[in-house]
């Protein structure tokens, strides 16, 4: 695969809009580990190698364990994730795959049990943002480092 476009060179304003969302999320009340788990899980679903590489690397740098990264794709079948992380991961999957089932009430309600409204809004923005980055990276052919 070859890189098709370098978005920040072709359209710096569009790229700046996306990085603005990242700046917002950097100041959010969400735990850094949780944000990285969300980014990795959405990137797994979307098949974005560039983002998987970036966020697995960032997660490790922030102290995330290899076993949790390796088993994130099967998080429901492991004991490694907290109830709040499980609720966030379920919401991540529902939002990422929104065309299939929308976001079921029970998934949203479970997340709302673990996060207050502000945190839930930040979690939603984290999910939406990584999904947008995945689509940008896949469409423009961004490559993970060799």
Q: What is the DSSP string of 30-55?
A: S-HHHHHHHHHHHHHHHT-HHHHHHH
C-alpha to C-alpha distances, 109 to 3, 34, 36, 78, 92, nearest whole angstrom: 40, 18, 22, 22, 13
pLDDT tens track for 8-53: 999 999 999 999 999 999 999 999 999 999 999 999 999 999 999 9
d(CA 28, CA 123): 9
Q: How many CB atoms lie within 10 A of CB 13?
A: 7
Tell whether the model's pLDDT for residue 144 goes beyond 90. Answer: no
pLDDT reported for residue 146: 77
- The count of C-alpha atoms lying within 13 angstroms of the C-alpha of 75, restricted to the half-sphere facing its C-beta, is 24
Q: How many CB atoms lie within 10 A of CB 46?
A: 18
Domain at 7-140, CATH homologous superfamily:
AhpD-like (1.20.1290.10)
Tell whether the model's pLDDT for residue 133 goes beyond 90. Answer: yes
Tell whether the model's pLDDT for residue 58 goes beyond 90. Answer: yes
C-alpha to C-alpha distances, 138 to 5, 46, 76, nearest whole angstrom: 11, 9, 27
pLDDT tens track for 69-111: 999 999 999 999 999 999 999 999 999 999 999 999 999 999 9
pLDDT reported for residue 14: 95
pTM of this structure: 0.95
């Amino acid at each position: 695969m070859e890189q098709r476009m370098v978005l920040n060179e072709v359209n710096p304003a569009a790229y700046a809009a996306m990085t603005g969302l990242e700046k917002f999320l950097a100041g959010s009340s969400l735990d850094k580990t949780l944000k990285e788990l969300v980014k990795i899980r959405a990137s797994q679903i979307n098949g974005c190698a560039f983002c998987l590489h970036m966020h697995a690397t960032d997660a490790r740098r922030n102290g995330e364990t290899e076993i949790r990264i390796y088993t994130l794709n099967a998080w429901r079948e492991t004991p490694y994730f907290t109830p709040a992380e499980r609720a966030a991961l379920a919401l991540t999957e529902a939002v990422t795959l929104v065309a299939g089932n929308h976001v079921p009430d029970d998934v949203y309600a479970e997340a709302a049990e673990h996060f207050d409204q502000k945190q839930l809004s930040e979690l939603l923005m984290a999910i939406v943002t990584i999904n947008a980055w995945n689509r940008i990276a896949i469409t423009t052919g961004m490559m993970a480092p060799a």
